[in-house]
Copies of this chain bind each other. A is one copy, B any other.
Amino acid sequence: MVKLSNEMVEDFAKMKIFPFATASRNGDPNVIPIGFCKLQEDRETIWIADNYFHKTRHNLEENPRGAIYVWGPEIKGCYQIKGDFEIKTDGEEYENMYKTVKKMGERFPAKALAIMKITEVYECKSGDGAGKQLL
């Protein structure tokens, strides 16, 4: 596991929507915009709510890996974050996510909590340094 730096934590906090990529076991890539993507206090764990996942959920069940990036207007850096996933549909962590999501909107089903443990961080700013592993 790796912990995000202070600068990365600041950038992460400014993101409203994250592109979230997964892949099927046979390597078919998928990418969707997600709203509930919360870095936890340990800086190495990210909680993602499954409200309307279909291919994404199927992919995570059979191939628990994912990638997001942190980039956009008002964000200094551009970081790609990869990690390993665990899906929770009950227990304390799931209940915590469920309550938070329901406060945001009663309509959201909050079907599952996808917990990402960060394994690598890469530079994704355009230029010769792009793709370099940072953490």
Contact = CB atoms under 8 A, between A and B. Distances in A.
B21 A55 contact: no
A38 B42 CA distance: 40
B29 A21 contact: yes
Interface residues of A, number: 39
For this chain, the copies found in one complex come to 2
B65 A28 contact: yes
A89 interface: no
A84 to B, nearest CB: 11
A122 B130 CA distance: 29
A100 to B, nearest CB: 16
B131 A65 contact: no
Contact of A30 (B33, B59, B80): B80
Given A25-B27, A33-B71, A65-B29, A52 B127 contact: yes
Contacts of A27: 23-27, 63, 65
Interface in A1-54: 19-33, 35, 51-54
Contacts of A63: 27
A51 B126 contact: yes
Interface of A: 19-33, 35, 51-55, 59, 63, 65-69, 71, 78, 80, 82, 122, 124, 126-128, 130-131
